[in-house]
Structure 1
Amino acid sequence: MHILILGSSGFLGSHVTTHLLQHGHAVRAAVRGTAAGRPPQKGLAYAAWNGVDAVGLIPLLQDVDAVINLQGENIGAGRWTAARKQAIAQSRLNAGHALTAALQTLHDRGLRLPRTLLQASACGYYGLWQDAATAPDCNETHPRGQGFLADVCGLWEESTNRAEALGVRRCVLRFSPVVGQKSSGGVGGFLERMLTPFLYFLGGPVGSGRQPVSWVHMSDVTRAVRFLLEREDTQGIFNISAPTQVNMRQFARALGKACSRPSWLPVPGFVLRLVLGQMAEELVLNGQKSLPVRLKLAGYSFQCPDLDHALTETLARRA
């Protein structure tokens, strides 16, 4: 299969690219700036795209079987100022709208369209809960919640809705926070920031410790993406989340165990609110219980469903 990946250099995109190449697929990786000078790799071709221009995307879409849209600014890279929130939202919407416009142009010209589109989203779509004991189990039919992330996820998903009317099979992937390594080495994602105090024997649960924490191991991210690409009878919404649910206290205890450190020093919520503002409320102090109901019904078997094993495996390989 020939696959175009938007957002190929990010935390998820780099791993997805490598995994697909390892399993015999050909990947066209859209990158910002020039594609020249990047190391050659069998089955991998780089193509320059600025993340905005629909016209520039049209030649990248020709002769590909599937598109994976992971394009978007890192939501955890810095405090959510007004400018930062705009960049998070616009980077996703610009890419989605450009992709839709490019597909429409191909359709209008009578040219071949990709058969499949995998559209990224996140479990933040479902909203925010303070206590895992009372939070609902959010399967793919759960309604959209409230908050900045819920709004961004809803608009992100809607940005490529039109592809379905053009005859493209579309799967929307609502990712939970990912436990895994960076492709360059070292722990990545939300775990990178959470791990540091543990290594100095200062780790513990964040906030109340009762908030739900959805998670998924990187191996299941890459395998689930390939599963949905290759299973052409699948479409619609899929939660990409581990089937086991925990709260923050349980997650912190498992993290301490995995890195052979105590989990005894909680981080008060008010400290994070002072430092991170709204970002703390939506990314750390509240959460969701996101269940992979449709993925399991489709026949996907999780490689790493256990949190202790996922953390131990990830930290054992950290640089």
Structure 2
Amino acid sequence: MRVLIGGGSGFVGRELTRILRDKGHEVTVISRQPGPGKITWGELKSQGLPPCEGAVNLAGENVMNPLRWWNESYKKDLFSSRIDTTKALSQAIAASPSPPRSWVLVSGVACYKPSLTAQYTEDSEWTPFDLLSNLVKEWEASALLPESVAKTTKQVVIRPGAVLGRDGGAMKQMLLPFWLGLGGTLGSGTQPFPWIHVSDLAGIIVHALESPSDAPSPTQQVLNGVAPALNTNYEFTKELGRVLRRPTVFPVPGFVMNALMGSERAVILTEGQRVVPQRTLESGFEYKFPDLSSALKEIVGS
């Protein structure tokens, strides 16, 4: 299979590329910079979609970028980097004389309202309630294909939680304070913490690309890209401390998180959603890291 990946040089994109190539697929990355095995976003717009059987978009400014202050300019970049690239790909697919069999967008669980009690599956209805849920709404809408194209191209949206891995994502910023014995719960610690190992998220994307197309549908098939284990921030903190053999006695109060990150962004860590990958499991996907212990041991190498 020939697979086109927007944002393929990022944290998840590198893992996805590795798995696809290991399975014998051919990968072309859409990047800001030209190079071997790459095309630029400008080339996609001017030359159209290269021949491919699958297309994936992972592009987008990092929401948790510690080097960016939470201001209007950054929020604008969060929206434009996701929506513009998704539109560029969906329009190129729609205009292609030979569109791919599968079109996969990776968005996020921020569409589900944080709650200590509610449980969300892919069938849960939701309406935007804050900045990030509005982002998901616009982002997923920008991926929708015209009905004529949706008859032959399967549309899949994968909504991941916190993506855990050795070389990027949430863990990259967490490991140093935990190694120094300065780790602790964030906010109350009772909030749900939906997470997934980067290899499993990449695996779900590959599974969506390789699975035979269902009956054509004008709507998107949604898969929750989270591990089946339902954990709280406290459980995650204690397990990471146990695996690293470090104490976790320095909780970070919510008001400190709000001051450091901006309240609209801090909510990702201080509040959470209990998300169940019901349809992901029903699709036959098998997790390599279904629980925190196995995932964290692989990541920190113990």
Fold similarity call, TM over 0.5: yes
Q: Is the 8 A contact 2:163 2:170 kept in 1?
A: yes
Q: Is the 8 A contact 2:131 2:264 kept in 1?
A: no
2:149 is equivalent to residue 166 of structure 1: yes
Q: Is the 8 A contact 1:5 1:68 kept in 2?
A: yes
Q: Which residue of 1 aligns with 2:20?
A: 20
C-alpha displacement of 1:124: 0.9
Distance 2:146 2:173 in 1: 37
2:160 is equivalent to residue 175 of structure 1: yes
Query: Deviation per CA, 1:162-183, whole angstroms, max 9, x where unpaired?
Result: 255413111101011111122x
Distance 1:15 1:57, change over 3 A: farther
C-alpha displacement of 1:65: 0.6
SS at match of 1:88: helix
- AA at the equivalent of 1:152: L
Q: Is the 8 A contact 1:28 1:47 kept in 2?
A: yes
Percent identity between the two aligned chains: 31
Distance 2:148 2:57 in 1: 18
Distance 2:294 2:22 in 1: 24
Q: Is the 8 A contact 2:113 2:129 kept in 1?
A: yes
- AA at the equivalent of 2:29: A
Distance 1:165 1:173, change over 3 A: farther
Q: Which residue of 1 aligns with 2:101?
A: 115
Output aligned runs, 1:24-63, within 5 Å.
Answer: 24-35=24-35, 45-50=37-42, 55-56=45-46, 58=48, 61-63=49-51
C-alpha displacement of 1:258: 1.2
Q: Which residue of 1 aligns with 2:56?
A: 68
Q: Is the 8 A contact 1:71 1:91 kept in 2?
A: yes
Distance 1:46 1:250, change over 3 A: same
Provide structure 2 residue ranges, at least 5 long, that are not aligned to the other structure. Answer: 215-219
SS at match of 1:255: helix
RMSD: 1.7
Q: Which residue of 2 aligns with 1:95?
A: 85
- AA at the equivalent of 1:228: A
C-alpha displacement of 1:15: 0.8
Distance 1:48 1:97 in 2: 15
Distance 2:47 2:160 in 1: 25
Q: Is the 8 A contact 1:255 1:311 kept in 2?
A: yes
- AA at the equivalent of 2:91: A
Q: Is the 8 A contact 1:272 1:280 kept in 2?
A: no
2:283 is equivalent to residue 301 of structure 1: no
- AA at the equivalent of 2:212: E
Q: Is the 8 A contact 1:103 1:163 kept in 2?
A: no
C-alpha displacement of 1:211: 0.8
- AA at the equivalent of 2:119: D
Q: Which residue of 2 aligns with 1:41?
A: none
Distance 1:206 1:81 in 2: 22
C-alpha displacement of 1:79: 3.2
Query: TM-score, normalising length from structure 2?
Result: 0.91
Query: TM-score, normalising length from structure 1?
Result: 0.87
SS at match of 2:4: strand
Distance 1:305 1:105 in 2: 39
Distance 1:161 1:57 in 2: 21
Distance 2:86 2:271 in 1: 28
Q: Which residue of 2 aligns with 1:79?
A: 69
Distance 1:11 1:255, change over 3 A: same
Q: Which residue of 2 aligns with 1:197?
A: 177
Distance 1:300 1:11 in 2: 21
Distance 1:103 1:207, change over 3 A: same
Q: Is the 8 A contact 1:164 1:170 kept in 2?
A: no
